[in-house]
Structure 1
Amino acid sequence: MNQNLSSYRIFYTVANAGNISKAAKELYISQPAISKSIQKLEESLGCKLFSRSSRGVVLTEEGNLLYGHVRDAFETLTLGEDKLKRSIELGVGHLRIGVSTTLCKYMLLPYLKEFIKRNPHISISINCQSTNETLKLLDDNKIDIGLIGKPDNLKNIQFYYLDNIKDIFVATGDYLSHLSQRGIKEDEILQNSTLMLLDKNNMTRQYIDDYLQENQITVADSIDISNMDLLIDFAKIGVGVACVIKSFVKKELEDGTLTEIPLGIPIHEREVGFAYKSNLKPSKSLQTFIDFYENYHPEES
């Protein structure tokens, strides 16, 4: 575009008014200034845009062609301004959240349910990835906030603690009974069972691998599974021993569907919470979400 927006604003106003003096009053500028702007625009485009009549000015054929495009452009700008004003008035915004499938289902949903209820004009997109991938998306500014297991390095990360999670190993009573019939002792179960773990890209898996290595537990047979729900489902049908988060199988432990396998050395609990970049000013939508979760307690609702 060779001309600045003000030149087209003047052209558009004159075309609508059909009169330079009316356009001057509407734009709060002098008639000579309008005439000079139109002349400059015509010289730049190499054609006449208006012809004079007894009633004022009318568009030439070339001017009418240009007017159609300019009109569409200004109508689009007006629509954009209106939408922006409404979004400010209503608190409209967009929030991008990164979270693992497991934490999304068991921890994020209660927060989202109430947040959406209180802030219906903020649209939300969810990117389900592992904690490691969520941290990378956060670093690349592809999400605004993540629900993650607390990483060892919190550089440029503001972390808000929500809860502790405890990893345990579970299996059905029948599966454990079969191991016992084979002479497998309680402290030998992990080494002699089909161990079901999350895939190796998952931070939980890396945490459990470290635990097994530190305690010199050699796994003979293992299955990598993509998410926690499948781990729980496979354990419930007796495929093997699954490493799961204790609070996520509370019902199954209470009704006896699954049994927790006692460990000589328990797995340390981990912290889970919301994280966002501390070196960036939060958007209005993110700040609204931060204020919300810092004062909201799902168990009280």
Structure 2
Amino acid sequence: MIGKLDLYRVFNVVSRNNSFSKAAEELYMTQSAVSQSILKLEKELEVQLFYRTSKGVVLTNEGKLLNDHVNSALGMINAAESKLLDFKMLKNGELCIGVGDTISRYFLLPYLEDFRFKYPGIRLKILNGTTSDIIAFIKSGAADVGICNLPIYDEHLEIIPCKEIHDIFVCGTKYKKITTKPVRLERLMELPLIFLEKKSNSRMYVERFIRKKGLHVSPAFELGSYDLVMDFAKNNLGISCVIKEFSEEYLNRGILYEVLLEEKIPSRSIGIVSLKMVPLSRAAEKFVGSITKPR
């Protein structure tokens, strides 16, 4: 079949023009080459496809039957090629991104808005979850890329850091007095602490740092929502562990106050995660590039 495809294309053009000479002009071939192609096809199929007349050529009954199917088949091939071109030009397709609610709201939204504006034909599918959920999405093929809190240690994943972030502690007006000078970690552990739930990558990172100092974290509250962590601090329920870059509005407006530590928690990053051995789609490449390039 593959070997006959070019012959079928020639046959289709001849049948549309009812002429070898006009088909030759359209195909940029010699009339002899067109004639030889039709003879070859007739020989392989063992049927006569055209009646030759002084005014041109006319399809035989067998030719008419074949032409109906060839028209349909070539139409499907042309449609497929057109769709492939659209994918290449990012006129359509789908991009699936795994990301948590917090990173979506405080980091990713402007990039999604920009990508959607540039490539409106690409459907964006967002899968929400924790870092471990997002890694599972990527490994199962459910997500093309993930945006996660780092660090992540997995030899099967390609990880590109894209934004530096800082874990800090904040409080409301009730505890404002402790913000006047740096606080020792030992003193901080004596206060009512508010953390994200244990499976959060942010929580695990900060807790590892504290344990390395020989201290134990025993939160008064463990919450599943980053916004609740900030709201609990705002309402004076304790000292919340938050990401500074995601809390700037509250800090700048004086709704929350940073509790300075004598020993700062080392910075970390948000990163783009994908499978090492699986090439990114063109849409995913463009999206990753939009995040990693300087804004």
**Same topology, TM > 0.5:** yes
1:205 aligned residue (203, 208, 213):
203
What SS class does the counterpart of residue 42 from structure 2 fall into?
helix
What number of residue pairs does the alignment pair up? 278
Instruction: Find the aligned partners of 1:275 and 1:218 in 2 and give their Cα distance.
Output: 29
**1:182 alignment counterpart:** none
User: What is the TM-score of this pair, normalised by structure 1?
Assistant: 0.66
Residue 37 of structure 1 aligns to which amino acid in structure 2?
Answer: L
Q: Deviations over 1:53-81 (max 9, x none)?
A: 75632252x65455344323322333444
Residue 38 of structure 1 aligns to which amino acid in structure 2?
Answer: E
| Structure-2 change in CA distance of 1:291 and 1:189 (3 Å) | closer
What SS class does the counterpart of residue 247 from structure 2 fall into?
helix
Instruction: Find the aligned partners of 1:14 and 1:133 in 2 and give their Cα distance.
Output: 58
**2:8 alignment counterpart:** 8
**Deviates further, 27-36 or 90-99:** 90-99
Deviation at 1:122, TM superposition (A): 7.6
2:4/2:41 contact within 8 Å kept: no
Alignment partner of 1:58 is 2:59: yes
Instruction: Find the aligned partners of 1:159 and 1:2 in 2 and give their Cα distance.
Output: 42
Residue 36 of structure 1 aligns to which amino acid in structure 2?
Answer: K
| Structure-2 change in CA distance of 1:2 and 1:32 (3 Å) | closer
Deviation at 1:283, TM superposition (A): 5.7
Deviation at 1:34, TM superposition (A): 0.9
Deviation at 1:245, TM superposition (A): 1.0
| Structure-2 change in CA distance of 1:40 and 1:25 (3 Å) | farther
Map 1:97-246 → 2, pairs under 5 A: 97-114=97-114, 119-120=118-119, 123=122, 125=124, 126-138=126-138, 143=143, 145-151=145-151, 153=153, 155=155, 159-174=159-174, 193=192, 195-198=194-197, 200=199, 202-214=200-212, 215-219=214-218, 221-225=220-224, 227-237=225-235, 241-246=239-244
Is there any run of 5+ residues in structure 1 with no aligned partner, and where? 178-185
Q: Deviations over 1:249-286 (max 9, x none)?
A: 22223434334455565433212344556667666555
**1:181 alignment counterpart:** none
2:7/2:37 contact within 8 Å kept: no
Instruction: Find the aligned partners of 2:154 and 2:143 in 1 and give their Cα distance.
Output: 17
Map 1:255-294 → 2, pairs under 5 A: 255-261=253-259, 266-275=264-273, 285=283, 288=286, 292-293=290-291
1:20/1:57 contact within 8 Å kept: no
Instruction: Find the aligned partners of 1:78 and 1:164 in 2 and give their Cα distance.
Output: 47
1:191/1:218 contact within 8 Å kept: no
Instruction: Find the aligned partners of 1:216 and 1:50 in 2 and give their Cα distance.
Output: 88
User: What is the TM-score of this pair, normalised by structure 2?
Assistant: 0.67
Deviation at 1:167, TM superposition (A): 1.9
Q: Deviations over 1:17-55 (max 9, x none)?
A: 3355655665532424313313433x5xxxx68463756
What SS class does the counterpart of residue 40 from structure 1 fall into?
helix
**2:247 alignment counterpart:** 249
Is there any run of 5+ residues in structure 2 with no aligned partner, and where? 177-184
1:97/1:146 contact within 8 Å kept: yes
Residue 169 of structure 1 aligns to which amino acid in structure 2?
Answer: F
